[in-house]
Amino acid sequence: MSFANEISPSFSSRTSATGSGWHGPDPSRIDAVIDRALADQRLVGAVVLVAHGGRLVHRRAAGLADREAARPMQLDALFRLASVSKPIVSTAAMVLASQGRLKLDDAVTRWLPDFRPRLPEGSEPVITLRQLLTHTAGLGYRFLEATDDGPYARAGVSDGMDCSGLTLAENLRRIAQVPLLYAPGTAWLYSLAIDVLGGVVEAASDAPLGDAVRKLVTGPLEMHDTGFFAARHDARLAVPYVNSTASAPRRMAGATVATPFEGAVGIRFDPSRAFDASAFPSGGAGMVGSAGDFMRLLETLRSGGSPLLARELVNEMGRNQTGGQGPADAPGYGFGLGFSVLHDKEAAASPESVGTWRWGGAYGHSWFVDRARELSVVAFTNTLYEGMSGRFVADLRDAVHA
User: Where in the sequence numbering do the catalytic residues fall?
Assistant: 83
Is there a contact between 240 and 364 (Cβ–Cβ < 8 Å)?
yes
Phi-psi region of 323 (alpha: psi -120 to 50; beta: other; left: phi over 0): left
Preceding omega of 182 cis (within 30 degrees of 0): no
Question: How far is it, in rounded angstroms, from Cα 213 to Cα 227?
Answer: 8
Residue 108 near residue 132, CB atoms below 8 Å: yes
Instruction: List residues bridging with 62 in a β-sheet.
Output: 46
- The CA distance from 52 to 72, in Å, is 27
d(CA 237, CA 393): 22
> What whole-number distance in Å separates Cα of residue 137 and Cα of residue 314?
21
Q: Check if the beta carbon of residue 271 is closer than 8 Å to that of residue 342.
A: no
Residues 6+ away with beta carbon under 8 Å from 246: none
Distances (CA, A) of 354 to 20, 208, 333: 15, 37, 9
> 279's torsion region: left (phi>0), alpha (psi -120 to 50) or beta?
beta
337-14-90 Cα angle (round to 5):
15
246-270: b or e for each residue (b if 16 or more CB lie within 10 Å)? eeebebbeeebebeeeeebbbbbbb
Amino acid identity at 394? A
Q: Which helix (H) or strand (E) holds 285?
A: none
Alpha carbon separation from 359 to 82, 85, 159, 214, 270 (Å, rounded): 11, 11, 17, 22, 22
Element (H, E) at 118: none
